[in-house]
Amino acid sequence: MGDRYELRFSGSGGQGMILAGIVMAEAAAIYDNKVAVQSQSYGPESRGGASKAEVIISDSGTIDYPKATAIDCMLALTQEACTKYHGDIKKDGILLIDSDEVKDIPEGDFKVYSFPIIETARGELGKIIVSNIISLGLIAELTGIVSHGAMEKAVLARVPVAFTELNKKALQIGFDKARELKGN
Amino acid sequence: MGDRYELRFSGSGGQGMILAGIVMAEAAAIYDNKVAVQSQSYGPESRGGASKAEVIISDSGTIDYPKATAIDCMLALTQEACTKYHGDIKKDGILLIDSDEVKDIPEGDFKVYSFPIIETARGELGKIIVSNIISLGLIAELTGIVSHGAMEKAVLARVPVAFTELNKKALQIGFDKARELKGN
Amino acid sequence: MAAERVKKLMQGNEACAEGALYAGCEFYAGYPITPSTEIGEILSYKLPLIGGKFIQMEDEIGGMAATIGGSLAGKKSLTATSGPGLSLKQECIGFAAMAEVPCVIINVMRGGPSTGYPTGPSQSDIMATKWGTHGDTPVIAVTPSYVPEIFTETVRAFNLAEKYRTPVFVLFDEIIGHMREVVTIPHPGELEVIDRAKTDVENKEDYLPYDNRFEIPPLAPFGEGYRYHVTGLNHDEDGFPTNDSKKIDAGNRKILAKIENNKEDIWSCEEVDTEDAEVLVFAFGSSARSASFAVREARKQGIKAGLLRPLTIWPFPDEPLRKAASKAKVVIVPELNLGQTVLEVERTLPGVKVEGLHRVDGEPITPAEILEVIDKYK
Amino acid sequence: MAAERVKKLMQGNEACAEGALYAGCEFYAGYPITPSTEIGEILSYKLPLIGGKFIQMEDEIGGMAATIGGSLAGKKSLTATSGPGLSLKQECIGFAAMAEVPCVIINVMRGGPSTGYPTGPSQSDIMATKWGTHGDTPVIAVTPSYVPEIFTETVRAFNLAEKYRTPVFVLFDEIIGHMREVVTIPHPGELEVIDRAKTDVENKEDYLPYDNRFEIPPLAPFGEGYRYHVTGLNHDEDGFPTNDSKKIDAGNRKILAKIENNKEDIWSCEEVDTEDAEVLVFAFGSSARSASFAVREARKQGIKAGLLRPLTIWPFPDEPLRKAASKAKVVIVPELNLGQTVLEVERTLPGVKVEGLHRVDGEPITPAEILEVIDKYK
Amino acid sequence: MAEGAAVKKKQKVNVPFDYDKYLRKGKLPHIWCPGCGHGIVLKSLLRAIDKVGLDKSSICMASGIGCSSRTPGYVDFNTLHSLHGRAIAFATGVKLAKPEMNILVTIGDGDALAIGGNHFIHACRRNIDMTVIIYSNAIYGMTGGQVSPTTPEGAMSTTSPHGNMEPAFDACAVAEASGASFVARSTAYHMQELEKVLTAAIEHKGMSVVEVLDSCPVYYGRQNKYKSASHMMEEIEKKGTVSGAQAKNLSEEEIGDRFVRGILKQDKDGVEYCDAYDNLIAKVQVKK
Amino acid sequence: MAEGAAVKKKQKVNVPFDYDKYLRKGKLPHIWCPGCGHGIVLKSLLRAIDKVGLDKSSICMASGIGCSSRTPGYVDFNTLHSLHGRAIAFATGVKLAKPEMNILVTIGDGDALAIGGNHFIHACRRNIDMTVIIYSNAIYGMTGGQVSPTTPEGAMSTTSPHGNMEPAFDACAVAEASGASFVARSTAYHMQELEKVLTAAIEHKGMSVVEVLDSCPVYYGRQNKYKSASHMMEEIEKKGTVSGAQAKNLSEEEIGDRFVRGILKQDKDGVEYCDAYDNLIAKVQVKK
Amino acid sequence: MTEAAEKILPRIEIDPKRCKGCSICVDFCPTNVLEMKGALATVVKLEACTRCDLCDLRCPDFAIRVFD
Amino acid sequence: MTEAAEKILPRIEIDPKRCKGCSICVDFCPTNVLEMKGALATVVKLEACTRCDLCDLRCPDFAIRVFD
Ligand SMILES: Cc1ncc(C[n+]2csc(CCOP(=O)(O)OP(=O)(O)O)c2C)c(N)n1
Ligand SMILES: Cc1ncc(C[n+]2csc(CCOP(=O)(O)OP(=O)(O)O)c2C)c(N)n1
Ligand code: SF4
Ligand code: SF4
Ligand code: SF4
Ligand code: SF4
Ligand code: SF4
Ligand code: SF4
Ligand SMILES: [Mg+2]
Ligand SMILES: [Mg+2]
């Protein structure tokens, strides 16, 4: 479908994939004035295990079907999630993986970007909890689907004030590294 | 309907009209080998007030509709019951009333028999509780719909052994008085 | 020299209790409610005499739950109720259907909605029986019209429950519940009594309570060494919860299919003069008795009237209806509600004129009322 | 200078809570259950802020009972639940309908029957909503598909409840309940909000809670000097129980008629390309979103496909459906159950081919699945 | 003159209580059977209401289903005849939505303690301000005499036809343990004590439970061979109970299975539920 | 040789308890979150079952819905995962229909005391032989942290976001007052005491209620600012309770709002329900 | 004795429409003022009445009242 | 000292598939035998173990066992 941009954030429970989806949707729909729908899969025993959140973005109009049909960009922070969920990525879509976690990279008609997201969060920022924010920075830059400004506003609106700086930094790392990745 | 004999027993709650209906049905169906259906009206606040029981008797086959449609014989022990329920008596049917209780005798194409049933129970047997049994005797004889033997068996099967004689007497009074009434 | 059969003038509710005992019911849990109360009362007297158990629970929910528990322990189990109690039992009924635990639920219908008219007859729980619990739930419901039929249909209900491992309803209205007719109790063996199927597994560990080898897997009673799991969640054939969408799908469909696939076995209908009927009356319960009277009268008047009297109302007897209505110009559906069964009749017979005759004033539908409608089409 | 409207990315359940607040809801009584829990959670936070009341009752039955109590005391009242909770509430829902007490019931549908699949979406409580409580009961149910629509339909549900003095359901499935979309909260006054009608009697003693002068008599709140009686029994216009069969009849019919007579006001449907539709899809809730996608694709392929999306599922929108299907060769009914709404569609459209598309594996129906069925008829 | 004055004085003392002021006279006679204790309980309650001086429009009387639950139909208040077992839950909604109302719940032992047991204990726990009057006749009257959770062991009923084998609840003990702040017991026989107890219960702020032992001569009486309504009252309500004062001087054995009458618990320190809610609102609104 | 014997002896003492004998190993790991007390309760229960020596096939373990109610899925008995609040009612049916079975009911505080409150008090009243183990974590774990009838006043939950304003039940007091013949309390922290208490509860004939204070670190813990599972156990289960022995030497004020642990009631005189039923059957069958 | 003569007797009203004949008033009247006559309570010994009001207080049917 | 040398150390088994890393065993071990390593309990001071079994008894996940 033409005016329909599909994103999937996947990882394991507790890695903040749903929050990533929400922030992405808010960046697009509140701060960039697009239309967005965010949804997630949610099992009764989803404690642990693979977890995913999806965001559909459109420039205009209503988004009817809220789930991914042909993914433009997918993030996978774990091997399990990557293996389980990559199948819906569309031709020429983007797969962003954590290079330390996902060793078995799926084959397909899509572009794979690989980056040590979690290790960067731990190493450069001392908090693996911001892996999802780094991811958001990466994706914003890689896809261009939301503006940097909107993304920053969306992130900061969702995190406690005490962590503003940390998250700003995480996001910036994402932006910067994505530019490098694209350069490759 | 040809093979369908309809009886209604009416009075006030506590006068044993339902028991009368049951005994009549048992006399016909168990001891005279006919077919019988007994039913009653049963209000949520039927404590006191008019009460009725109906019995449909047939010589053969099944009785489908279980309620009275055209009554062959009706008993009324109170004015209220008589007034409320006599409307369904069919042409040439029988209305048996307590002569002390029912003063306002309804008009219609039916034969009215009048007898001081309750007073007889009190006066001759010392127990108004057997008014319903006297009534059964009267009706058995007046209508001939069940045999005396069947009626006696049915009554005795339903009353405590200690009261066998009392009830036998009550029934006999009914049989006898009905013969007199018919004679009139 | 066979002993004489016991022949007794019985109330409908009594015939129901006697039918349950004949069918081998050994466990009753319930909560009293007019007009079904006598069923529990009689069983509270009779069950202990045969070593069975009666328990008056704290409410209808508890009554239904304990009935299911009793059945899991291997006893044929029964509960009886009326409208408001039915509503309360719905969650547990869904559990019995989902976990495939046989049991019988008697509903002596009274005037609804809400507390309504407790001592008035009604046939207004037909749809609540089919659709009352949430989700897609298999339902079998039988609808006797006569007191002796309450006896036989209660036996049949137990048979169906055990055969199909599912809750089965016996629905009748207050009129029949409180009416008295003669019931001749059959000798043991005279009526078919189906007992719970036994598992064929050699090794108790291999027992699967929802064994996919069977359309209706045998249910081993608790306490006999088969140590399995029962849940109301979507489950696998071993009885444990599953999140596998294929298994969820299969499980949900299986419990409906076992009824759908065996409709012909479950259906029971009485037909009167349907072969050439141009005016067909479709009626059950006490309304069918009035209809029977009316149809007989109509025939006397030369009207080609007929009666289809379903003794199974769920699964809906669509094929028998279609057959019986093949010559019908009109199908009349008298029922003590404001239009329930008539909806199914309409759906089953597109193009055929269907006329509902509804009464909700606490009085039965009379033969005259039905006859009046029949007369319109003569 | 009007302030900017609040624009917020919200979960469906949050939009529901916000819609309730917009509509003037001041009272919530309920019991938590997945996937409806967030509605109560949000209101437990927000209601005290505006002086309203939230109470977590001991169970769903208590939740429904207290909701009705709150409404009788004059407050717009709400409860929210899911499948098993719906089953438990049924008896009380019948009371609200019979006693004509306005209230709103949210049911975020999860996989059933029984505990089923608590976190999976489903549309399998459609029939339980209509027929779940015993007796013939009036039912209004609205079925939003989009998060902003949950907001507006919740407001509409409160309006309908107050206008028709009856319980009104808002039904949506887990997908929409947990999905997030942007909702722009309208200013006060921007959306119509209907408050409870006030009685016109001069003398408080003359007040009749079921005054026959009105199709829908005004309901005076408890505690304002109108001292009347409320019962779930069949009652007279003064609210007291009656055994008069005429009054029983009239009362039972009246509560259904007030819905039946005002269907056009209660109905709401969205139509997409129905004018010339040869393949009509009839879908609500999340399935309608997939259908919308599929119909758009089909049109691109040159198929004359159309969508009828009912926002009111009860009373069933038969006339709109008949109209929309006037050119249809086939009507496709995708729903997350094993065949519920499709039955009504069949009944409504005798002679028209109707094809159900059912899914009960815990996953939504995809546009591709619907398209596949549409393609069969191109 | 002096005589006249004396007469006047006397008349004043002896003017019978005017129940009519609270009754919906058109609805009388009530449906209760001859000798049913429910009427005595109702009369005591009306006198108590009068003593406290409640405004009729401020009262919501709620009930469930049962003979006792017919009470609201006869009195000129805001009356709610709800569903079997649910009266307290309905009443909780009314009270919380409109805390200025005075809530009276008149229900049977089955209604309160069997099907309604859960709402009962939770209302006690919450200590919400209402007065629950249990018409405790140890039987289901309305449905024709089934066993109830207060039927004594050994007693006959239509569902304990071989003699009741279940232990009975001590309703007051359950109420106390569940958190009710006012708990009392009296009987229809002791109708003056009952009036006092009910007065105190209504005046008490918080959950008040009053168990009233009363009698169903028709179903309980007949099945258990009591000769008359008065015989039952004599045996069950009079001989079967001791007053709190008497009980103090008796050992547990001496009391035996007799029930103790009087106010059994009265805790004025606990916060009432609606008050607690108001405090919460005040707190969060300030914060806001 | 002597050394070898010593070692042997030691080994005997230290062979860890073999839980596997009772577990459905294929179903592990269980769904409980890291640090959830439910696993500790289950382990104590399995040791108690072992001590009593129950035959696995004779056990019916029933539960409702909740995290705690997932227990039956992991153990190799006849297991019944029923409906929220209904476990005790289902179990009543199983027990009465087959009195030779040993019934264990493993349920949450919400399951037992909120929605299941009525079945709970009535099973206590009947004194039917079953052991009800309440995993009392003061929260609804399964549904994500709502307030429960045992949540302390002031505590945070997703449905008491301004602090809980409702008083909590004393579950043991309610059980006692309702007629349970065995009532005890312990905690997951005191898992050895718990094992003993559970052993006594299982051995007791009649209704046994064991309230186990345990912890939901995820929902209760996080909302109420506990640092870790152990921190919660330390604060709530250890510091928040006193043993029965300690309590004897303390005044009510000294005990404060700490819960008393240990066996609180043990009445061996009452007749158990199924026994009473058997007596009834014997009586009526003789009569017949 | 003038005092006796002067004694003002109470007026006991029994509403026959309300009285259901339960005999509670009769059975508990301390001075046997009342008696059942058929299904209706009646006054048979008014002079013995002490105005104790027990009959009124215990009548379940709002049927008997004692006036001065 | 021979006795010390002779001391037979226990064997503590921690099943990494079952351990959920709650740290209860670590926090309550009286002699600090255990420590968290990432999300897994590990033995760091076996010689201090008194075989008190508290770690096993309190582990909610059937993950740790102490053998002789
Ligand atoms: C849900 C439901 N279950 C059962 C009934 C039937 N029912 C009506 S009243 C009643 C019991 C009445 O006993 P009690 O509460 O003790 O009041 P009493 O009549 O003795 O005053 C029952 C079981 C009902 N109306 N609704
Ligand atoms: C009838 C019904 N109502 C509500 C629910 C939702 N529900 C599932 S578990 C639960 C509460 C669980 O709390 P608790 O019993 O304390 O167990 P825990 O999870 O804390 O161990 C609730 C409300 C349900 N499944 N069924
Ligand atoms: S049945 Fe019993 S409780 Fe009901 S009114 Fe009659 S005497 Fe009273
Ligand atoms: S949510 Fe709480 S109670 Fe449930 S498993 Fe997790 S920690 Fe345990
Ligand atoms: S007032 Fe007292 S003495 Fe007089 S009639 Fe009544 S009970 Fe008897
Ligand atoms: S107590 Fe009342 S109802 Fe009973 S006999 Fe006396 S006056 Fe009549
Ligand atoms: S057995 Fe005791 S000392 Fe040894 S590791 Fe475990 S807790 Fe520590
Ligand atoms: S207690 Fe068990 S689960 Fe927790 S850290 Fe230790 S070994 Fe792991
Ligand atoms: Mg009672
Ligand atoms: Mg809990």
Of the candidates C83, C88, C105, the residue with the CA atom closest to the CA atom of residue C173: C83
CB atoms within 10 A of CB C195: 12
Q: What is the mean pLDDT of residues E266-278?
A: 97
CB contact under 8 A, D59 and F143: no
pLDDT tier for residue E288 given thresholds of 50, 70 and 90: low
**For residue D206, what is the domain's CATH number?**
3.40.50.970
Distances (CA, A) of E249 to C131, E245, E255, E265: 61, 7, 10, 18
Q: Above 50 in pLDDT, residue F1? A: no
- The two tokens of residue D208 are 């009749």
CB atoms within 10 A of CB C5: 12
Decide: A51 and A39 in contact? Cβ < 8 Å. no
Q: Above 60 in pLDDT, residue B46? A: no
Cβ-in-10-Å burial (0-12, 13-18, 19+) of B47 comes to: middle
Single out the residue in C243, C266, C289 at which a domain terminates: C266
Q: What pLDDT score was predicted for residue B41? A: 82
User: Pairing between strand C167-173 and C140-142?
Assistant: parallel
Chain D CB contacts of A67 below 8 Å: 364, 366
Single out the residue in D266, D298, D313 at which a domain terminates: D266
Domain ranges of chain B: 5-182
Distances (CA, A) of B10 to B82, C31, C277, E34, F33: 7, 32, 40, 22, 71
Query: Are residues D240 and D285 both part of a single domain?
Result: no
Query: Are residues D305 and D175 both part of a single domain?
Result: no
Q: What is the pLDDT of residues C201-212, one digit of tens each?
A: 999 999 999 999
- The two tokens of residue C24 are 């081998």
Q: What is the pLDDT of residues A11-30, one digit of tens each?
A: 988 899 999 999 999 999 99
Say which DSSP state C113 is in. S
Q: Whose CA is nearest to atom 11 of ligand 1?
A: E140
Of the candidates F108, D42, F92, B162, the residue with the CA atom closest to the CA atom of residue C28: F92
Q: What percent of chain C has pLDDT over 90?
A: 98
Q: What is the mean pLDDT of residues C336-358?
A: 98
- The two tokens of residue E171 are 């309703």
Q: Can you state the angle between helices C60-72 and C83-99, rounded to 10 degrees?
A: 30
Instruction: Tell whether ligand 8 has an atom less than 6 A from the beta carbon of residue H33.
Output: no
CB contact under 8 A, D48 and E277: yes
Q: Above 80 in pLDDT, residue A99? A: yes
Query: Would residue E10 count as lying in a domain?
Result: no
Decide: D115 and F83 in contact? Cβ < 8 Å. yes
CB contact under 8 A, A42 and D289: no
CB atoms within 10 A of CB D216: 18
Q: What pLDDT score was predicted for residue F119? A: 98
CA distance C369 to F273: 53
Mutate to test the interface with B, among C182, C300, C365, C370 (most CBs of B within 10 A): C182
Angle at C13 between CA C9 and CA C17, to 5 degrees: 95
Q: What is the pLDDT of residues H27-68, one digit of tens each?
A: 999 999 999 998 899 999 999 999 999 999 999 999 999 998
Q: What pLDDT score was predicted for residue E271? A: 96
Q: What is the mean pLDDT of residues F225-253?
A: 97
- The two tokens of residue D308 are 């009828």
Q: What is the pLDDT of residues D202-225, one digit of tens each?
A: 999 999 999 999 999 999 999 999
- Domain extent, residue C69, equals 1-266
Task: Fill in the amino acid letter for C132.
Answer: G
Q: What is the pLDDT of residues B82-134, one digit of tens each?
A: 999 999 999 999 999 999 999 999 999 999 999 999 999 999 999 999 999 99
Query: Would residue E24 count as lying in a domain?
Result: no
Q: What is the mean pLDDT of residues D245-261?
A: 97
CA distance C239 to C244: 13
Query: Would residue F259 count as lying in a domain?
Result: yes
Residues 6+ apart with CB under 8 A from A66: A37, A39, A54, A56, D175, D179, D286, D289
Q: Above 50 in pLDDT, residue E12? A: no
* Backbone dihedral region for residue C229 (phi beyond 0: left; psi -120 to 50: alpha; all else: beta): beta
Name the residues around ion ligand 9, CB cutoff 5 A: E 108-109, 137
Decide: B136 and B171 in contact? Cβ < 8 Å. yes
CA distance B166 to B161: 10
Average pLDDT, chain C: 97
Q: What is the mean pLDDT of residues F206-235?
A: 98
CA distance D177 to D185: 17
Of the candidates B74, B67, B56, B57, the residue with the CA atom closest to the CA atom of residue B17: B74
Q: What is the pLDDT of residues B4-26, one digit of tens each?
A: 999 999 998 889 999 999 999 99
Cβ-in-10-Å burial (0-12, 13-18, 19+) of C213 comes to: exposed
Domain A5-182 has CATH 3.40.920.10: yes
Q: What pLDDT score was predicted for residue D15? A: 98
Q: What percent of chain C has pLDDT over 70?
A: 99
Average pLDDT, chain A: 93
CB atoms within 10 A of CB C7: 13
Of the candidates C230, C271, C237, the residue with the CA atom closest to the CA atom of residue C254: C237
Distances (CA, A) of C321 to C312, C334, C342, C378, E137: 12, 15, 12, 21, 52
pLDDT tier for residue E257 given thresholds of 50, 70 and 90: very high
Chain E CB contacts of C48 below 8 Å: 162
The position carrying tokens 């002796």 is C148
Give me the DSSP letters along B42-95. Answer: --TT-SSSEEEEEEEEESSS---S-S-SSEEEEEESSHHHHHHHGGGEEEEEEE
Ligand nearest to the CA of G24: 6
CA distance A98 to C1: 88
Query: Are residues D150 and D18 both part of a single domain?
Result: yes
Give alpha helix (H) positions in C147-224: 147-164, 174-178
State which ligand 3 atom lies nearest to the alpha carbon of E66.
4
Q: What is the mean pLDDT of residues E207-232?
A: 97
CB contact under 8 A, H22 and F11: no
- What burial letters (b/e) apply to B78-93, b meaning 16+ CB within 10 Å? bbbbbeebbeebbeeb
Domain ranges of chain G: 3-67
Nearest Cα residue in chain C from F288: C49
Q: Above 90 in pLDDT, residue C330? A: yes
Q: How many domains does chain D have?
A: 2
Of the candidates H54, C218, C58, C275, the residue with the CA atom closest to the CA atom of residue F93: C58
Q: What is the mean pLDDT of residues A73-78?
A: 97
CA distance F110 to C118: 34
CA distance D53 to D55: 7
CA distance B30 to C143: 26
Q: What is the pLDDT of residues G5-39, one digit of tens each?
A: 567 899 999 999 999 999 999 999 999 999 999 88
Q: Above 60 in pLDDT, residue D45? A: yes
- The two tokens of residue E3 are 């005589």
State which ligand 8 atom lies nearest to the alpha carbon of F229.
4
- Domain extent, residue F118, equals 32-287
Q: What is the mean pLDDT of residues B33-40?
A: 96
Give me the DSSP letters along chain E. Answer: -HHHHHHHHHHHHHPPP-GGGGB-GGGPSPSPPTT-THHHHHHHHHHHHHHHT--GGGEEEEE-SSSGGGGGGGBSSEEEE--TTTHHHHHHHHHHH-TTSEEEEEEEHIIIIITTHHHHHHHHHHT-SEEEEEEE-SSBTTTTSB--TTPPTT--BTTBTT---SPPP-HHHHHHHHT-SEEEEEESTTHHHHHHHHHHHHHSSSEEEEEEE---IIIIIHHTT--SHHHHIIIIIITTEEEHHHHHTS-HHHHTTPEEEEEEEE--SSPPHHHHHHHHHHHHHHH-
Query: Would residue E117 count as lying in a domain?
Result: yes
Decide: D241 and D231 in contact? Cβ < 8 Å. yes
Decide: F150 and F213 in contact? Cβ < 8 Å. no
Q: What is the pLDDT of residues C38-52, one digit of tens each?
A: 999 999 999 999 999
CA distance D74 to D59: 23
Chain D CB contacts of F146 below 8 Å: 32, 37, 40-41, 56
Domain H3-67 has CATH 1.20.1530.20: no
Query: Would residue E174 count as lying in a domain?
Result: yes
Average pLDDT, chain E: 95
pLDDT tier for residue H8 given thresholds of 50, 70 and 90: confident
Q: What pLDDT score was predicted for residue A51? A: 87
Q: What is the mean pLDDT of residues C106-110?
A: 98
Q: What pLDDT score was predicted for residue H61? A: 97
Query: Are residues C71 and C84 both part of a single domain?
Result: yes
- Rounded to the nearest whole angstrom, what is the distance from the C-alpha of residue B63 to the centroid of ligand 5? 58
Q: What pLDDT score was predicted for residue A183? A: 82
Decide: D48 and E287 in contact? Cβ < 8 Å. no
CA distance D363 to B29: 62
Chain B CB contacts of E31 below 8 Å: 45, 47
Distances (CA, A) of D237 to D199, D254, E25, E274: 14, 11, 17, 33
Query: Are residues C286 and C251 both part of a single domain?
Result: no
Decide: C282 and C345 in contact? Cβ < 8 Å. yes
Q: Above 50 in pLDDT, residue C131? A: yes
Say which DSSP state C366 is in. P
Distances (CA, A) of F198 to F56, F181, F266: 16, 14, 13
Start-to-end Cα distance in chain C: 54
Nearest CA of chain H to the CA of F276: how many Å? 39
Single out the residue in C209, C234, C266 at which a domain terminates: C266
Average pLDDT, chain D: 97
Secondary structure string (H, E, C) spanning E6-30: HHHHHHHHHCCCCHHHHECHHHCCC
CB contact under 8 A, B43 and D243: yes
User: Pairing between strand E182-187 and E207-213?
Assistant: parallel
ipTM of the prediction: 0.97
pLDDT tier for residue E102 given thresholds of 50, 70 and 90: very high
The position carrying tokens 């059937």 is H62
* Backbone dihedral region for residue D201 (phi beyond 0: left; psi -120 to 50: alpha; all else: beta): beta
Distances (CA, A) of C254 to C134, C199, C235, E136, F203: 17, 19, 12, 49, 42
Secondary structure string (H, E, C) spanning C273-302: CCCCCCEEEECCHHHHHHHHHHHHHHHHCC
User: Pairing between strand C180-185 and B35-40?
Assistant: antiparallel
Of the candidates D33, D166, D22, D189, the residue with the CA atom closest to the CA atom of residue D96: D166
pLDDT tier for residue E286 given thresholds of 50, 70 and 90: confident
Q: How many domains does chain F have?
A: 1
Distances (CA, A) of D8 to D4, D146, D186: 12, 14, 12
Q: Is F47 helix (H, G, I), strand (E, B) or coil?
A: helix
Query: Are residues D109 and D237 both part of a single domain?
Result: yes
Stated pTM of the model: 0.97
